[in-house]
Structure 1
Amino acid sequence: MTSQPLSGLRVLDFTRVLAGPYATALLADLGAEIIKVEGPGGDEYRHIGPFRDGESALFQTANRGKRSILLDLKDPADRDVALALADRADVVVENFRPGVMARLGLGPDQLRARNPRLVYASISGFGQSGPNHERPAYDIILQAMSGMMALTGDPDAAPMMVGEAVADVAGGLFAAWGIMTALYERERTGQGREIDVALFDALASMMPTAAARVLVCGQDPVRSGNRHALSAPFGTYPAGQGHFAVAVLNDRLFARFAAAIDRPELIDDPRFATDADRRLNEPALAEAITTWAADLDAEGAVAALSAAGIPAAPLSTAREAWTSDQVMARGLVSAVDHPQLGRIDLPEQPVHFAGAPRGMRRPAPGLDEHGAQIRAELES
């Protein structure tokens, strides 16, 4: 078996920027045909850096493997092309503000009346309903409103953004998951379904430990910096040179840890009897760890802890991680041939399907690169 899991799936993609394109890029990686509909000027990400030889690297990563057609959806003739494409599609994905697609005559009720098997996914900042549904949303806004930012950073400093567009990525992931769930249901019922994905909802759902503390225990979680909110020692600590991360989550590991840092007396110290006690008294543990690691570099500290069976790691930069042997061995990056940029490396969806090849993908398309081809296919 060498076919891709989503071979034969046709997706009409009206999305732009990140959340929607990320969702459809995941589907493209698995063999789905993605027809990207772009308005005059193209997706905004075509014009946002970083750039290489005039091409946006962000656009390349978020739109790999797709075909592009330029349609002015306010033009009746182009709207008819969009309708014809939707009639032949399995999935439509859009991320305009709520109500925009309906006003264009391309809303879920309008398209599903013509194609009942259609799965129609709408992605927006706050969903199709609720008091905030008409608010514009950017990742920083969603991090601020979801509680994510309030939980990130040093407890004695200001709240801090997570260093990636996590709301967009979370929304894209849940959109792809929702689409596949609806397609599975369609296999049983013959009917498609409308899907409403809010980036706010998606990001909130990515915080299960905070939700447990708020909803079940009535707590109000606060920032804990580079330390775990509930366990210790579980965080990052300085060595003589550099920093390292360590994760000790149970009594058995703590006994090994105490021996590894040459402090066996910690095992019988009542301040560290349980995981909760250790978190309460984490500053004392941090002092012991820092003293032990003062004469080591980060790699040496990690080597000593790892030899004792303690989960530990040095802190890698993004460049070090994306170019690491682990990333390459897992096929998280594969090369594509771009007409202007030549051979470039792009990220690939992370799930391995037995028997399905990785790689063999296309680069992101030029604006309207496949427009004539797609229009001709409608005549066949």
Structure 2
Amino acid sequence: MKLQGIRVVDLSLFLPGPHLTMMMADHGAEVIKVEPPSGEPTRNIGLRKNGEAVWFRNTHRGKKSLCLNLKDEEQKAQLLALIDEADVFVEGFRPGAMARLGLDYATLSARNPRLVYCSISAFGQSGPKSQKPAHDLSIQAESGTVFLNEGADGEPCSPAMPVADMAASLMGLSGILMALLRRNETGCGDYLDISMQDSLVAWLPNALGPVFAENRSPVVKQERSWGGNAMYRIYRTADGRHLTLGGSEIKFAKNLFSRLGRPELAAACERPPGDQEEAIEFLKKEFAGRTLAQWSDWFEGLDVCWSPVRLLDEALKEEHLRVREMVFEDDAGNRHLGVPIKFLHEPAQVNTCLPKLGEHNQSFLASGQEI
């Protein structure tokens, strides 16, 4: 596997760091999760199956667990000895916390110059908000994406997805892999300052036309991506379900409106978003006249970007995801998320075993490694 022989020491908690290091474990890295005496918080958050929290299962498979109290000097010394042999170190504490513990990059890189050190924090290691505590919702609010998540009543909604968390996970993974690749040439590691807000803001290229071109915030429901385009929005069906049109290319509009017997309305879709009400109102009435199942049959074979709005359990049971191995079941009946990074050669080999808190403390000691 691609990361076989890479040792990762992970002090991060909750979602961004643990998700990042799980992806590394899936591809062969040895990931040593260092947990506080109380354990990784997600061991006890949300619903459980077969004794383990689903959240924990989907972020900690294939890892080893060390339970250490880093305020104890002896245990901290044991951790330092372990990091001396590591390739990657990941932490997700508020800026300054690692320095107070003597686990900052300057200290660790002096001991292990090859170490790739990744810090994930809400707002980064510098700037006026660096010490501000925040999780995903607050970061999305600060970054404008809660504003963009406007409901039908014009009020902002709580975002459905933790995109600041997940963006930071992917940015952190990308940065670590870049640093490991460069280390092959230089022999030296590096330090990554990953801000969840930076990572989220970097995902906004298609939303910034009004901001960068006209120095204003968008009128959300008039924008192409959020309801202003007839061919890129959500529509209600007769049974209270919904479907989406998700492709605004004019060829799709011509195909759809021709099939609906109103080919002239395709021209409305060539106007700017926010000026397509004629087409939108027609489609609202049309889609409200049949059930989602009836529309699924109607769209069969038609070259239009459309999709049903599936309930979450429906979506995760879909045959396509099973074929892609993005949802699979282990021998104990636990369902797992699969691996999205699919290599032809040396593909991931998922180890679904979960570590008990501190399970590997004694095994490391027994093997002669000081921890």
Task: Report TM bin, short chain.
Answer: over 0.9
The 3-state SS of whatever aligns with 1:106 is coil
2:236 is aligned to: 238
The 3-state SS of whatever aligns with 1:228 is helix
Instruction: Report if the CA contact (8 A) 2:245-2:307 is conserved.
Output: yes
CA separation in 2, counterparts of 1:319 and 1:71?
38
Identical amino acids, percent of aligned pairs: 34
Query: Which of 199, 202, 226 lines up with 1:202 in the alignment?
Result: 199
Instruction: Report if the CA contact (8 A) 2:64-2:355 is conserved.
Output: yes
Residue 270 of structure 2 corresponds to residue 274 of structure 1: yes
Report deviation, 1:273.
Answer: 6.1
Tell me the alpha carbon deviations over residues 78-101 of structure 1, each in whole angstroms, 9 at most, x when there is no partner: 111111111100000001111111
1:328 is aligned to: 322
Residue 337 of structure 2 corresponds to residue 347 of structure 1: yes
Report deviation, 1:359.
Answer: 4.6
Tell me the alpha carbon deviations over residues 146-172 of structure 1, each in whole angstroms, 9 at most, x when there is no partner: 101000022643101211222111111
- Map 1:70-81 to 2 at 5 A: 70-81=67-78
Tell me the alpha carbon deviations over residues 272-330 of structure 1, each in whole angstroms, 9 at most, x when there is no partner: 16241xx2333321221133234321233244334220011111111111121111111
1:253 is aligned to: 252
CA separation in 1, counterparts of 2:323 and 2:222?
32
Instruction: Report if the CA contact (8 A) 2:247-2:306 is conserved.
Output: no
Instruction: Report if the CA contact (8 A) 1:155-1:223 is conserved.
Output: no
Compare 211-220 and 22-31 and name the one that shifted more.
211-220
Query: Which of 329, 334, 357 lines up with 1:367 in the alignment?
Result: 357
CA separation in 1, counterparts of 2:75 and 2:31?
18
Instruction: Report if the CA contact (8 A) 1:16-1:44 is conserved.
Output: yes
1:17 is aligned to: 14
CA separation in 2, counterparts of 1:344 and 1:273?
46
Instruction: Report if the CA contact (8 A) 1:118-1:192 is conserved.
Output: yes
1:148 is aligned to: 145
Structure 1: stretches of 5+ with no match in the other structure: none
Report deviation, 1:76.
Answer: 1.3
Tell me the alpha carbon deviations over residues 320-343 of structure 1, each in whole angstroms, 9 at most, x when there is no partner: 111211111111123446xxxx34
- Map 1:39-58 to 2 at 5 A: 39-58=36-55
Tell me the alpha carbon deviations over residues 186-241 of structure 1, each in whole angstroms, 9 at most, x when there is no partner: 11111100000011111111222123432244331233299724643211112222
CA separation in 2, counterparts of 1:227 and 1:307?
26
1:314 is aligned to: 308
- Map 1:55-94 to 2 at 5 A: 55-94=52-91
2:115 is aligned to: 118
Compare 365-374 and 51-60 and name the one that shifted more.
51-60
Report deviation, 1:23.
Answer: 0.8
- RMSD (Å), alpha carbons: 2.1
The 3-state SS of whatever aligns with 1:307 is coil
1:170 is aligned to: 167
Task: Calculate the TM-score normalised by the size of structure 1.
Answer: 0.91
Report deviation, 1:357.
Answer: 3.9
CA separation in 2, counterparts of 1:295 and 1:215?
41
CA separation in 1, counterparts of 2:118 and 2:198?
15
CA separation in 2, counterparts of 1:121 and 1:336?
32
Tell me the alpha carbon deviations over residues 245-287 of structure 1, each in whole angstroms, 9 at most, x when there is no partner: 11242222221121022112224x5xx16241xx233332122
Instruction: Report if the CA contact (8 A) 1:244-1:315 is conserved.
Output: yes
Amino acid at match of 1:370: H
The 3-state SS of whatever aligns with 1:265 is helix
Report deviation, 1:369.
Answer: 0.9
Work out the number of aligned pairs and report it: 368
The 3-state SS of whatever aligns with 1:215 is helix
The 3-state SS of whatever aligns with 2:43 is helix
Tell me the alpha carbon deviations over residues 345-366 of structure 1, each in whole angstroms, 9 at most, x when there is no partner: 2112301100334454132211
Residue 295 of structure 2 corresponds to residue 301 of structure 1: yes
Residue 135 of structure 2 corresponds to residue 134 of structure 1: no
CA separation in 1, counterparts of 2:310 and 2:287?
18
Q: CA 1:79–1:336 in structure 2 vs 1: closer, same or farther (change >3 Å)?
A: farther
Residue 263 of structure 2 corresponds to residue 264 of structure 1: yes
Compare 201-210 and 35-44 and name the one that shifted more.
201-210
CA separation in 1, counterparts of 2:269 and 2:74?
73
Q: CA 1:336–1:98 in structure 2 vs 1: closer, same or farther (change >3 Å)?
A: farther
CA separation in 1, counterparts of 2:311 and 2:354?
26
2:30 is aligned to: 33
Task: Calculate the TM-score normalised by the size of structure 2.
Answer: 0.93
Q: CA 1:304–1:375 in structure 2 vs 1: closer, same or farther (change >3 Å)?
A: same
The 3-state SS of whatever aligns with 1:334 is strand
